[in-house]
A and B are shown apart, each in its own frame.
Chain A
Amino acid sequence: MSTHKATADRPKLTVVPPAGGGRRKASGARPGRGFALHGRFRHAYISPAVLFVAVLLYLPFLWTAYLSLTSYDGLASPEFTGLDNYRRLLEDDALVTSIRNTLLWVVGTVVLPVGLGLLVAVLSYDLRRGAWFRLPFLLPYAMSGAGLGVIWGFILQPDGMANQILTLFGMPGGDTAFLQDGPRNTVAMIVVWTWQQLGVNMLLFVVGLQSIPKAPIEAARIDGASGWAMFRHVIWPLMRPITTVVFGLALVAGLKNFDIVWVMTQGGPGRSSETLAVTMYRDVFVANEYGYGSAVAVLLTTITGLASYVYLRRQVSREELPR
């Protein structure tokens, strides 16, 4: 029932003709017809976009799904091998490491950049000159992922700046192999990722905080709410639209993470820091095993699709979802 109501209430997008009457009005066309997005030709307007998405996304995906059922080296014609690649996936120890690292990335991405971003946003929201407080957190976001990886790769190398600083101040761990041991290397890269991504998450949360209506907060204050209770029972629920977006983006970013890992460790040493996206790239483009790599791609897509679906289903109520 509520779904029907939401649909019925949905406003129709209509281009309003210019005041005073344009050419079409002068020719006798009824207002709202012709350029309206609900007319006979409404599908024509979106067809270019649909075509592009179909050609550049869906067709390659279907082709990848087909390749995952073949043995293919990129040169000879693909040879159909059924589910062999998927059977091989189940026996691949490196894939277990890859899935573990991907999960670490998902958890790490959601907990660290998002959690800390929220903390900084909340702590700085009512602060005088809060914008200046937030600026240093935001600046690293201006760097590209590849540039970030190169710089932090140098900082975290065996005799890099991180170890030198620890040694200089007489702290333990001055010979830490940040990027040489798994899963420590994955954790180190998540921390680097946090350094960059914290700012943008914080910014989104600040926007969310600013969009909260003042009335319910005032009402809660009058009722005696403050501090943690105010945040938990009033502010947090009211921020739900923005938290849904931020957590959703973090979830997908964690699942598909590739660039920073590739630049910093190339998935090594010995495949110890590979994520599913890196495994896919390695199998397809480095080992030239297009069929097996495609199976990894299908697995990654399935996990990402399922995780996104489950998350959005839980977070967004049926009324809010588009029909």
Chain B
Amino acid sequence: MVPSKRLQVTALTVGALLLAAGCGSGDSGGSRSELKLYNDKGAWKPFFEQMGALGKQQTGLDMTPVGYTDEPTYTAFIKTSFRTNVKPDLFTWTTGGRLEEIVKQNQVAETTKIWQDGIAGGDLTEDLKKYYTVDGKQYCVPLNTAYWGMFYNKKIFDKYDLKPPATWAELEKTAQTLKSKGQVPFNQTTPTSLFSFAWFEQILAGTDPDLYERLSKGQASYTDPGVVKAMERWKTMIDAGWFSKPGDKADPADHFKSGDAAMVINGTWFNTSMTQRGLKQGEDYGFFFVPNVDPALPKRSLVFESGPLCSLRKAPDAAASTKYLKWWITPAAQEKWANARGDVSGNPKVKVADPELDKVTKEAASGGNRLVLRYFEAAPAPVLTEALSGFDKFLNKPETYMDVLKGIQKVNEDYWKSH
């Protein structure tokens, strides 16, 4: 019976190995000195590493970034981690419906105390708090804050004696001038459809911010006359030849570098792309907030995004993760973080080294703005997916705008029926 014994030994060995692998796959918990920060910002690895070094000095906790570059894969990984023993110490996410989704599943560690202390100490703001609040409690802390506005090519503007517009009419005039000089006024935001919503949110929020907010909560229809009007305005601008061709595979920053792009709507984080190409803010390019379409609105609608840094309720070492989140919002950490990336900070105490960026930060914090959450976070995932495809279709075939809106509305209705 030699084969039988061999089989038994083999089976036992394989079983033992599988058991060991199963047991060893998760984090054993307990006191940790090194945290892993899972994120969907693979390109930010050097900046995370700088934060890791500073964090180790100031908190004793080392941090290693684990960066993903593909958003769907990252989202699937994080969701899967909730059900397995492989749990991140810290992870990045998005505010809005997606944060609410994972909070409702009782997965995310509450950070109400960090927010209370942060606001009392001036490191966090009330303005930002509502985006991190679910059912009256706060979750996660701001990883980053960014405002959306227009990057413009200073050399092109100087050449045609143009200035950042203060009104929508001036913006249109600027576009007309550039077009008449053979320059395409607006570059597409990205090579992919990821940010195909940028002009939709800008036009709608600048026309009727209440409608924009109702839309994202399922309280308005995508076929509402106000939404249709916003799409028609966008179509008119495309028909006027103000936009670069969709489907261009190059990053807008490359078009700035080559001198082809005159303007592009983007988040302030786009500064990182520009500086990585050796372009200097204030010299090669500038930034202005897009004026409202409707000049009668009391405040300028300012599209903003804030990405949360979260930890799990059942984190491998909850105390260590919380300690790190508390440190993350301090001025020392935020100053390093903002300046490393060349971006603004959500912490009002932070002095941004770049004077142009500092000006943007101060202007955003002034009382004349009404913050509206970026569409990417504001729309629920299935609606956003449909909308991104729809706007992408619209960019290529503007005459399809009603079909696009009806398509999004169908998904919107289905979603809000069950949520």
Contacts and interface: CB of A to CB of B under 8 A. Distances in A.
A285 B102 CA distance: 16
A180 B105 contact: no
Nearest to B393: A270
B101 A269 contact: no
Contacts of A71: 418
Contact of A268 (B72, B76, B82, B389): B389
A17 interface: no
A287 B101 CA distance: 13
Given A73-B101, A75-B105, A269 B247 contact: yes
Contact of A157 (B193, B248, B385): B248
A309 interface: no
Interface string A173-203: 0000101110000000000000000000000
Nearest to B384: A287
A154 B251 CA distance: 12
A57 interface: no
A42 to B, nearest CB: 11
Interface string B314-332: 0000000000000000000
A44 interface: yes
Given A75-B101, A268-B393, A288 B192 contact: no
A287 B418 contact: no
A128 to B, nearest CB: 42
Interface string B1-34: 0111001000000100000000000000000000
Nearest to A41: B3
Question: Chain B: interface secondary structure?
Answer: helix
Interface in A261-290: 266-272, 281-282, 285-289
Interface in B49-106: 71-73, 75-76, 79-80, 82, 101-102, 105
Nearest to B107: A75
A271 B3 contact: no
B393 A272 contact: yes
B193 A286 contact: no
Contacts of B245: 158-159
A288 B382 contact: yes
A288 B75 contact: yes
B101 to A, nearest CB: 6
Nearest to A40: B3
Contact of A75 (B2, B82, B246, B400): B82
A89 to B, nearest CB: 14
B395 A75 contact: no
B193 A181 contact: no
Interface in B359-382: 381-382
A180 B397 CA distance: 9
A158 B247 contact: yes
Contact of B381 (A160, A177, A267, A287): A287
A287 B246 contact: no
Contacts, number: 85
Interface in A63-77: 71, 73-76
Contacts of B193: 266, 268-269
Interface in A123-161: 153-154, 157-160
Question: Chain A: interface secondary structure?
Answer: loop
Q: Kindly name the residue among A179, A180, A271, A288 whose own CB sees the greatest number of chain B CB atoms within 10 A.
A: A288
A32 interface: no
B249 A75 contact: no
A34 interface: yes
Contacts of B392: 268-270
A34 B3 CA distance: 7
B249 A153 contact: yes
B396 interface: yes
B394 interface: yes
B100 to A, nearest CB: 11
Contacts of B395: 269
Given A75-B105, A282-B385, A157 B418 contact: no
A286 B107 CA distance: 21
A269 B105 contact: no
B286 interface: no
B303 interface: no
Nearest to A48: B14
B37 interface: no
B253 interface: no
Q: Kindly name the residue among A177, A181, A267, A286 whose own CB sees the greatest number of chain B CB atoms within 10 A.
A: A286
B404 interface: yes
B385 A180 contact: no
B72 A180 contact: no
B294 to A, nearest CB: 29
Q: Which 7 A-B pairs have the closest CB atoms?
A: A270-B393, A285-B72, A158-B245, A287-B385, A269-B392, A269-B396, A287-B382
